[in-house]
Structure 1
Amino acid sequence: MSTRIYITSAEGHTGKSTIALGVLDTLSHELGRVGVFRPVARSTSEPDYVLQLLLAHDGVDLAYDDCIGVTYDDVHADPDAALATIVGRFAAVERQCDAVVIVGSDYTDVGSPTELSFNARIAANLGAPVLLVLGGRTADGARPRTGADMRQVAELTTTELRTEHAGLVAVVANRVEPELLGEVVSGIGEALDASVGGRVPVWAIPEDRVLVSPTLRAVMEATHAKLLRGDEALLDREAVGVVVAAMSMENVLPRLTEGAVVVVPGDRSDVLVATVLAHASDTFPSLSGIVLNGGFDLAPQVVRLIGGLGSALPILWSELGTYDTALTITQTRGRLAAESSRKYDLALSLFEKSVDGSELLRLLQVSPSSVVTPLMFEYQLLDRARSIQKHIVLPEGDDDRILRAASSLLQRGVARLTLLGNEASVRGRGAELGLDLSDAAVLDPNDHDLQVRFATEYAKLRAHKGTTIEMAMDTVTDVSYFGTMMVKLGLADGMVSGAKHTTAHTIRPSFEVIKTSPGVGVVSSVFLMALADRVLVYGDCAVIPDPTAEQLADIAISSAQTAQQFGIEPRIAMLSYSTGTSGSGADVEKVREATALVRERRPDLLVEGPIQYDAAADPTVAAAKMPDSEVAGRATVFIFPDLNTGNNTYKAVQRSAGAVAIGPILQGLRKPINDLSRGALVSDIVNTVAITAIQAGIEPATDATGSPAAVTPETGTPSEGASL
């Protein structure tokens, strides 16, 4: 039987979807197949946004229609028949999963006592322990609940659960006023002491304005507005307040607040222009958007004036009056959705900080899976990076993907970050995108003091190449060189770049400045290939076009060390078009020689070569071709004979097998510098930063005396052909 948990509340608008997302994410870190189920949905014709949110979570692979039990109409018509249908449909979902998160109804149809009772009855019939979500605000959201309020709510709801024989596993108070967290936990605890003996844990999650605020897109839909001008991508920013600007310009400006949507009468073009200018200014708050109300058309000269300002701020046009516009906006509720990355990350961050995930897993008797899925591996990366808190520099602060990744990393507490770029531009764009970059440092590569410091050091390092201070002053303003110098001088622990630059541009400075680790003759790369049930290491797929036998041996040894760093037992396959002694030729001999060098230099490593890919990966083929090999059929580290083979193979596996390719991860440098594909997604950037932080946390090699080993001679730079 799979692990089951039933998440329900006693009323609507408790933020149950936030809790469900957190529980789903927690289970996904430990189990290979986690599903979701919605016993009672509003209807089958209109999409259930909570179910859509959970199905969009990485690792959940279920059809939407399969995850719904019945509708409210079915429950009204015949509750017993509806319950029987729910049990049958749940069983079909459970057969496909190791765990199922069951999300109770939304209290949008029938009275709360009846609805809670039916949810409790479902939980009892499914044999699923209940995680009870209690709202930290009154049902209308008007005021926060005190500890005494929460005690009363807990007493009523736990009695209802007990009456229907539903077991209670834990209680989460959500949307609690931050200063009342302790009081609320105590109040609920007192109620549980009286009803269930106090053996149930209680957690409280604070209210966050961003999480409950609607996006500007939701405001546009609610007010039946259209986008008059501005960047459509910024419609997904949250509107965390409303300012009604039905007054003179000088009275409006002091009332502007960060992230607010400003309601401007359509015939007050002076206020409109002033608001747009204020948004563009560093001395006023960054706004979410403007809603022009009243249905008035702007004069052509006003349209031309605003266009000339070049502002990306969305300006909406609505026919509603001022009162109706403001009322509609304030009544528009914020929804947690997968496409709202800031809310998504914030919801998970609040859950992780407030709820003891390991205790919840213990209560649910979850045993770690022997299978390692891509999602599980990615979480392990983030969790490990979070535990060591390294400082990573991201040179491409003018790329939206970098800014989004930085916001996600900071929300989840994965690493400390520095972004390079003009501070006003970087923070301004982050604010426009609705991102929280307040915990990131921003440095300008044109900062004179740092320029001088970096140029002096760079000129000293490159004096043998004839580099002067004047030449170095120009060089170090390049973002890749600037970031690399930060790593060299200990101002950052590692660097991640390449979203907008070639591989050569990104890593050439590291060859000149950081240089190779002791005992390593060449800098190379690997991809961590997260397949459906395990993680493999592929090298080299990005840097060295045609390695010699000596370089191939270096790549194999470095790749085995990288595998160990990420918890993968290295069994090295030196790949070729021939297995064992069955073939000959220069290419095969190169691999044979490289294999011998690996065995000579590292007799502790398991290595086989030359070997074909199928013999390395498939136990059946291995049994026929190399029956006595400790590597054949079980290889975890695949070393390709050249870049052409490696790059094409990793991309073929990524596309055809649905593998998650994490990398390229550079290996062999004294300090971690990692490159991104120019087509990198935000998730790729997040993973690469986590990997870089982990690499930065590994102790440097030392010589026999315990001192840092001597620097290996500088390697050559990668070819432009190595760019991804």
Structure 2
Amino acid sequence: MTPSEIPDAPQTLLLVPTSEGTGLTSTCLGLIRALDAIGLKAGFLKPLRQDELNGPGPDRSTALVASTLGLRPPPPIPQPQMERLLRDDRLDVLMEQVVELQDQAIAAHREHPPELLVVEGLVPTRHGTYATQLNAQMAHALNARVILVGTGDMADPRTLAEQLDMHARAFGGVSSSRTLGCILMRLHNLPSAGQHEAALAPGTAPPMLDAAQLAELRRHSPALATDRFHLIGAVPYAPSLNAPRVLDVARALNARFLSEGEAASRRVLSTSLCARSAANALHVFRPGSLIVTSGDRDDIVLATALAAMNGVPMAGVLLTNGYLPGENMIEMCRPALKTGLPVLTVDTDSFTTAQDLGQMGNDIPVDDLERAERVTAFVAAHLDLQWLKDHLNHGYTRRLSPSAFRHQLVKLAQRADRRIVLPEGDEPRTVEAAAICQRRGIARCVLLGKREEIEEVARNRGIELPSGLEIIDPDSIRDRYVAPMVERRTGKVNELTAEAQLHDNVVLGTMMLLLDEVDGLVSGAVHTTANTVRPAFQLIKTAPGYRLVSSIFFMLLPEQVVVYGDCAVNPDPDAEALAEIALQSARSAQAFGIEPRVAMISYSTGESGSGVDVEKVRQATRLAREQSPDLLIDGPLQYDAAAIESVGRQKAPDSPVAGRATVFVFPDLNTGNTTYKAVQRSARVVSVGPMLQGLDKPVNDLSRGALVDDIVYTIALTAIQAAQNEITNQGKRTVSGTDSTQGG
């Protein structure tokens, strides 16, 4: 797969709980079942594990989805690993790992990729105070739409409404296109709820909120009073669906079975602590009741046995205080045991045991497939299928998040497997970046420099140089490039001047690139932009079909990555050049997974302004449209009209780009360079670039203040560009049979 063939990721739905005990996993199961009922294939992902909720063993959500729905989601990131990255202020790395899990969840559906991916968010707990922050970050990283999952009591609609409003704010509020709506789970005080515990087909349960209840909820909730934030489902509390098996009780209390009986299938619908005589407790011997009593209460034991022999399907009997019935009593009760009645014992007293039972969670055990299936069907039955069908595929713009962009850079670079030369081979940041790229398979790096000097840099910084990392002494190879350089620049250099210029490692690396000994070049950690690009203009020249070289920056805004061009090369392009910059930038964006929507930036929008500068942008837009009719491009547009949806609707309501632009083409270098630096510094936005475009082979410049990560991503970007250029240039040469040049 080439970079330009990156498939569109399925739409992602992030389910965010407002508190503990909402039944989050049950909601995920029911939603996936409901989506299947309307013909939308969905995958599942739980990116982050919470040990305090899950306990030891496999992740419960992932295992239940696998056993109930037949999906194979990847295991979540362990909680210690997540918290370590948060402590080290490496949230960006954590989000890249989340994006990698998203890819794995999609890849699990090899033959039929899912149309949607349901993602289970973090539950806010007293320990996990970071849950809200990480849920918001995951929404951005995965470009996910958010469904809030709440729970509560319809007798207290104010509290329920306030929960929804508060949690919606973390995702832009209820007016944001990111927040879809909410699903209310385990609702109490719904008069009509009890009659609907039977399994129903998805979407067939009658509405649980009548008009008066819904009106009361909306009165307290600005969220539910809007059309954009929808009540997707109201699921009543169903006692039978929250009933644990006796086996689950035994596990939770670490109890011992005296007779296991049907412990794996009998469910605890109620718990009765019997401290009175049997004659005064006859009402507790009913179906689904777990009788809790001291082991020396022979009267209660006998009464339980008698009820079982009379056909009452009680859940079981739990004996406390560590007391066991005598042999004669056990023999007397043996007929009751044959009915399947479970009997278990604990060492704690009756009161403590009752407290322990009250603290048991409502989570579905991973091996309780019957309960998981019933809950899945029950939740699906109470969701608004028609609304999901009408709204899930509309009204949301696809964006590439910074985390997804960085992850994608590494992934595509690994696939490209290119050899990249680094002329500043003994520069410490460059050495470390080369080691990282070599170790991770991002590129096969070539450091130009003296081996002993590079190894000393590595020792001083504690860097272990990978065995495959190539180091070339420039003195050992310089002479062989003199003749090819003279030939390339006939009449402009001779052997003496060529040999002198080749003492500059950037020139030497550029000659290696020209002769196809390497696939790309990255420099600029200590050199100026001019030092890096001048040899490329003189030796590499432009690719077939292009008459100029331009540049773009990838701007990693908080919610998405956009492209700025040209911010580094062309001081004052004319209309024809500006049109070419727009087309180059759109193709570069597409090659890196960004859907190109090109805004030609000016101080005027549409026909509102006049003058030479505006007319240049207007003419460039027309030329670009003529050359690429299918490209979404518009101009002139002011920056706010291009970037902000509300402003775009007001200033350019008919524009296919306004408010949704992903590629911003500036009218001149003064505007472009000033804007990119203002955004980068004032908004603390990471920028990757400049990436040169239009060259026959990729050469890319670094900022002299670049961090190691910046260099790593620029190397990755160069490797991808090399793979893309090879395919594109071959096609252009085949069509045109010509070679264009720039510079001399």
Task: Compute the TM-score of the two structures, normalised by the length of structure 1.
Answer: 0.51
Residue type matched to 1:636 in 2? T
**Secondary structure, counterpart of 1:706 in structure 2:** helix
The one-character-per-residue Cα deviations of 1:195-249 (angstroms, maximum 9, x if unpaired) are: xxxxxxxxxxxxxxxxxxxxxxxxxxxxxxxxxxxxxxxxxxxxxxxxxxxxxxx
Q: Distance in 2 between matches of 1:657 and 1:483?
A: 35
Partner of residue 5, structure 1: 49
The one-character-per-residue Cα deviations of 1:600-623 (angstroms, maximum 9, x if unpaired) are: 222221211111111111121111
Partner of residue 686, structure 1: 712
Q: How big is the shift at 1:441?
A: 0.8
For 1:145-160, what aligned pairs fall within 5 Å after superposition?
A: none
Partner of residue 439, structure 1: 468
Q: Distance in 2 between matches of 1:473 and 1:703?
A: 35
Q: How big is the shift at 1:164?
A: 5.5
Q: 1:38 to 1:420 in 2, by over 3 A?
A: closer
Match of 2:542 among 483, 508, 516: 516
Match of 1:663 among 689, 693, 699: 689
For 1:596-615, what aligned pairs fall within 5 Å after superposition?
A: 596-615=622-641
Q: 1:401 to 1:92 in 2, by over 3 A?
A: closer
Work out whether residues 35 and 100 of structure 1, in 8 Å CA contact, stay in contact via their aligned partners in 2.
no
Partner of residue 332, structure 2: none
Q: Distance in 2 between matches of 1:704 and 1:57?
A: 42
Work out whether residues 36 and 55 of structure 1, in 8 Å CA contact, stay in contact via their aligned partners in 2.
no
Q: 1:599 to 1:474 in 2, by over 3 A?
A: same
Q: How big is the shift at 1:480?
A: 0.7
Q: 1:597 to 1:705 in 2, by over 3 A?
A: closer
Partner of residue 412, structure 2: 384
Q: 1:600 to 1:439 in 2, by over 3 A?
A: same
Q: 1:51 to 1:472 in 2, by over 3 A?
A: closer
Work out whether residues 545 and 732 of structure 2, in 8 Å CA contact, stay in contact via their aligned partners in 1.
no
Q: Distance in 2 between matches of 1:636 and 1:51?
A: 30
Q: Distance in 1 between matches of 2:507 and 2:570?
A: 21
Q: Distance in 2 between matches of 1:627 and 1:100?
A: 31
Residue type matched to 2:600 in 1? M
Stretches of structure 2 that go unaligned for 5 or more consecutive residues are 1-14, 17-45, 53-72, 96-122, 139-249, 255-396
Q: Distance in 2 between matches of 1:100 and 1:527?
A: 23
Work out whether residues 37 and 100 of structure 1, in 8 Å CA contact, stay in contact via their aligned partners in 2.
no
Work out whether residues 85 and 94 of structure 2, in 8 Å CA contact, stay in contact via their aligned partners in 1.
no
User: Number of aligned pairs?
Assistant: 405
**Secondary structure, counterpart of 1:89 in structure 2:** coil
Q: How big is the shift at 1:53?
A: 4.2
Partner of residue 92, structure 2: 58
Q: How big is the shift at 1:457?
A: 0.6
Within the alignment, does 1:564 sit opposite 2:598 as a pair? no
Work out whether residues 384 and 694 of structure 1, in 8 Å CA contact, stay in contact via their aligned partners in 2.
yes
**Secondary structure, counterpart of 1:633 in structure 2:** coil
Work out whether residues 517 and 669 of structure 1, in 8 Å CA contact, stay in contact via their aligned partners in 2.
yes
Residue type matched to 2:418 in 1? K
The one-character-per-residue Cα deviations of 1:572-627 (angstroms, maximum 9, x if unpaired) are: 11111011111111111111121121122222212111111111111211112111
Q: How big is the shift at 1:380?
A: 1.1
Q: 1:99 to 1:163 in 2, by over 3 A?
A: farther
Partner of residue 713, structure 1: 741
For 1:324-723, what aligned pairs fall within 5 Å after superposition?
A: 372-437=400-465, 438-447=467-476, 450-465=477-492, 467-698=493-724, 699-702=727-730, 706=734, 709-715=737-743
Identity %: 47
Work out whether residues 37 and 90 of structure 1, in 8 Å CA contact, stay in contact via their aligned partners in 2.
no
Partner of residue 183, structure 2: none
Q: Distance in 2 between matches of 1:521 and 1:707?
A: 16
Q: Distance in 1 between matches of 2:253 and 2:641?
A: 56
Match of 2:131 among 77, 94, 101: 94
Q: Distance in 1 between matches of 2:635 and 2:708?
A: 37
Q: 1:53 to 1:595 in 2, by over 3 A?
A: same
CA-based RMSD of the aligned residues comes to 3.8
Q: Distance in 1 between matches of 2:80 and 2:426?
A: 42
Q: 1:615 to 1:426 in 2, by over 3 A?
A: same
Q: 1:426 to 1:165 in 2, by over 3 A?
A: farther
Work out whether residues 50 and 79 of structure 2, in 8 Å CA contact, stay in contact via their aligned partners in 1.
no
Work out whether residues 573 and 632 of structure 1, in 8 Å CA contact, stay in contact via their aligned partners in 2.
yes
Residue type matched to 1:433 in 2? R
**Secondary structure, counterpart of 2:475 in structure 1:** coil
Q: Distance in 1 between matches of 2:592 and 2:715?
A: 14
For 1:74-113, what aligned pairs fall within 5 Å after superposition?
A: 88-90=125-127, 92-98=129-135
**Secondary structure, counterpart of 1:711 in structure 2:** coil
Q: Distance in 2 between matches of 1:650 and 1:601?
A: 27
Task: Compute the TM-score of the two structures, normalised by the length of structure 2.
Answer: 0.50
